Structure 1
Amino acid sequence: MRVGVLTGGGDCPGLNAVIRAVTKSLIHHGRCEVIGIEDGFDGLMSDPPRVRPLDWDGVSGILHTGGTILGTSNSANPLRDEATTRQVARNARELGLDMLVVIGGDGTMSLAHGLQRRIGLECIGVPKTIDNDIANCERSFGFDTAVATATEGLRRIESTAYSHHRVMIVETMGRHAGWLALESGMAAGADIILLPEIDFDLGSIIERCRERERRQRYTIICIGEGAKETGASLTVREHVAGSPEPMRLGGVANVLRERLQPHLKSEVRATVLGHLQRGGDPTPFDRVLATRFGHHAAELVIAGASGRMVTLQCGAIGSVAMSDVANVQRTVPVDHDLVVTGRDIGICFGER
């Protein structure tokens, strides 16, 4: 068999660990030649396609490094028009691909599922996202590292907050899912956590900040980029035409700062963590999880189980149909145990 491997969407700690595990597992079984597709689906859309061989030595020593040795793209859309899709089909035939291992988030899984339906390209998916929002998967690699990074950012901000008696707003990534804001906010001891799943009431936040002005003289607010005030619209940073995810969120922390400042004595400052959350070496947890995912993807390849995505459910590695993942997002239930816990220990979620 000839197996292609690509990384799609935003970069993420642990991608190289998956590439390493997939490649070494397939080589170990002695059944496959492995090639890397460069820059995500963009490499498969190009004429000629951009590829490189992946061998044992080529993927050694990359377990602990962030980013992806293959490069990636979060704007390449192989289904954007008929001509592009035909080019992808032609490249897949010329490369002799029997199977394509696609490492990415929900958008990447949707594209892979579409390619399998449209041109018959056999695909195996590996879930990757710092947002932890892939359906039917309780934990994706990259999330643990992002939570650790965001938590450290919040803790560093806190030292400035209590020194200057400020309200400090820290914005995390996560798009329409609040997992990153929820777990990093909980881990850092944030006073207010605002999630995309729970529209916030400005009056409730003002009330909590004023209470802390009287009692502890500073407040830490952790807000997910997809959060919004009741009755308001999402804060959109930019639109990228032709991208699988054309609406890029960001900047809600600054919007909230402007809304809060007139009502408080404390100075209000906003920090957007941005791509800092994507970078750096993966945590040990993510290295191990990514390795387990990559190994199971190789097992699915050898078994010929195309159209499946590796998953983690109830602590066990398995797989689900890619059709059950495509175009679906896993968001935080408003009655999730972490939300309930947070309410009981005095965290404000912006509810009236």
Structure 2
Amino acid sequence: MEYRYLGNSGLMVSCLSLGGWVTYGGQVGPEVAQQCMKTAFDLGVNFFDTAEVYSGGQCEIDMGVAVRKFGWKRSDLVISTKIFWGGKGPNDRGLSRKHILEGTDASLKRLQLDYVDLLYAHRPDPDTPMEEIVRAFNHVINQGKALYWGTSEWSAQQITEAHVVAQRLNLIAPLMEQPQYNMFHRDRFEKEYLPLFRNFSMGSTTWSPLASGLLTGKYNEGIPPDSRLAIQDNAVMRRLRDGLDTEDGRIKISKVISLSTVAKELECTTAQLALAWCLKNPNISSVITGASKPSQIEENIKALQVVPLLTEEVMQDIEDILMNKPTMDYNFRSS
């Protein structure tokens, strides 16, 4: 396993990590979740990600049980959770000081932990002043209930505003951002966030590296009944499933088929190629993966062996297939 510093901190996270979105507490039971986490830990993964909203909090419960069951040393783990959607009450969602404090306490209770290493603002909250948000996360850190805080799916402008507020108040700024990033979803990470990496040395823990399984090739000929996209009561999965029947969906499938040819030449799977491609980006601290069975984790970890094989020539072959590299040119008007 390779470990990378999270942004400009001294904290090291495994470059491949395990997240529980959709899967733990929902798609699979606690026993499977425990075995997946143990397999990941045994293979060197130290970073495990969850959120208060995942399966209505059950994901946090199942992952917390696994930590206690296997008796792992707390210093060997980096545990994160995210705050925004905590319930149906008017103060159970958003980033008010009240919900950040109460939501964190509720998450820690479900996880059976005294603190989390990383605490994220799961989405931006335009209805709460940025100063209130920054102060609240700092309060949680000062109480010892979180060690670092960050954002998830915030715009570069919003993250910059948080840094400006933190600097003005001499408070701790967000250390990391957790955005979606994969071969089909690139613009924000590769273009919009570049000033954040340059100016603030932000860390990143990216999610959906396989585009909810699309980049594994499993959907090339339909939707397997045991796959994520087969889940009926999840709005995100339903939207992705419907998208496969569109022209854009068919184009993506054809690109995955072409990528499988590159993978075959490298003697790896298409999924391993997609993960290695993400790991190749120097601005990524950790790639969050999902797994519904231990064997998937074992296969994902092998992506580390593929990264050295991604030469400039191979990377260009991939770009020729994707044809979606963000344009970096800027237009300046002369006065």
The structure richer in strand per residue is: 1
Return the index of the structure with the highest Cα Rg: 1
Q: TM-score, normalised by structure 1?
A: 0.32
Q: TM-score, normalised by structure 2?
A: 0.33
